[in-house]
Amino acid sequence: MITEQRNPNSTDIDLKSTAEIVQIFHEEDRKAVEAVTAVSDAIVQAVESVVAAFRRGGRLFYVGAGTSGRLGVMDASECQPTFSTAPEMVQGIIAGGDVALRRAVEGEEDKSERGAQAIREQQLTPKDVLVGIASSGRTPYVLGALKEAYAIGVTTIFLSCVPPATELKEFVTHFITPIVGPEVITGSTRLKAGTATKLVLNMLTTVSMVKMGKVYNNLMVDVHASNAKLVERSIRIVQAVTGVEAAIAEATLAQAAGRAKVAIVMLSKAMNANDAIALLEKHRGFLRPILAEGRDV
């Protein structure tokens, strides 16, 4: 496997200076970015599948083991504070359960039936999308989950850092395969493979949320203001869009229960929170067409 091959660029790395080792990492990390760029068309297709699922009331699931599983759980968990998604809209499944987020749970990734069981427990339906993540392209837990999901009628996407095996096409709808090459430390796929995986997951959720109206311009107008930093960000977002002073933005946000998008509509259209919510619902949560009425944006 490519992920298990030795990298000639890092031969005798233990004899090199710290500066030389850092330079090797820079050179190899660039390859991860280039590999992701090379699969842009596959990422576009996957994003469109995710958006279609969201629009029909479906959910996005990630499933993985080890680093792959942790990256999936991390990306899923960030959607709620960033975009105010419902907890069930984007979910991460990791072999070994939540305890595996902090320490290895030996052997779980080798059990395909456990992956299938996880899919049954989460009650996936044909409305949903499942992204299986396995750098090596062969993790039994992930393959078991993909097979089970495909049998149910779920759209399945496989993200790996090796060319897809022919037999996987029997239960995978779409492939995303950034070929990053051998790792700096042989077999340590938390490195380039992990970087490539994170880049792809960033796009799968973020671009999908943009297409669902959760971003206006380049502002996270659906941010869930759950801490002081995010409250301050919400104030700045409202100011940036409406041009009001900070005190007015803060007061309007209070009336809008902390929802920046609602506060923006309230200020832009001179209406109360309930009417602003109703107007947003009419436009399926998209802010731009509302602001476009009566002025250029």
Catalytically annotated residue among 108, 109, 148, 183: 109
Give the CA dihedral 106, 135, 47, 229, nearest 10 degrees: 60
Q: Which residue has the tokens 């001179």?
A: 270
Closest CA to 259 of 247, 249, 270, 246: 249
Structure tokens at 37: 């760029």
Q: 71: exposed, middle or buried (C-beta count within 10 Å: 0-12, 13-18, 19+)? A: buried
- Here the contacts of 179-183 (C-beta below 8 Å, separation 24 or greater) are 179/2, 179/35, 179/38, 180/31, 180/32, 180/35, 181/2, 181/5, 181/7, 181/28, 181/31, 181/35, 182/2, 182/3, 182/4, 182/5, 182/6, 182/7, 183/3, 183/7, 183/28
Catalytically annotated residue among 34, 48, 78, 250: 78
Annotated active-site residue 34? The verdict is no
Annotated active-site residue 78? The verdict is yes
Q: Which residues are catalytic?
A: 78, 109
